[in-house]
Amino acid sequence: MRHAGNRAIEHAEAMVDLERERQIASVRKHLAKQGSASCGDCGDEIPAERRAALPSARRCADCETRRERAAKRGW
């Protein structure tokens, strides 16, 4: 007979697995979206090379870099 503690651990692990799968599905959905020809921040054209490498790109590399740096700093 299993202990209640084991069932709780199994349940917690199952919840972690479900959340991981949900997050993976969300990222896949985001990556499948069509990007933009112009940057959503500065309005400049997103180079074809960037759009080919990351079809879901909505920002030019410079604006994306600034946004990521600000996020790391908590801004």
The pLDDT tens digits for 1-32 are 557 779 999 999 999 999 999 999 988 887 77
Surface-to-core class of residue 27, CB atoms within 10 Å of its CB (0-12 exposed, 13-18 middle, 19+ buried): exposed
Q: What percent of the chain has pLDDT over 70?
A: 97
Domain borders along the chain are 1-32, 36-75
Q: In a 3-state reduction of DSSP, which class is residue 28?
A: helix
Q: What is the pTM of this model?
A: 0.54
pLDDT value of position 38: 94
- Measured over the CA atoms of residue 23, residue 24, residue 27 and residue 32, the dihedral's sign is negative
pLDDT tens, 38-64?
Answer: 999 999 999 999 998 888 899 999 999
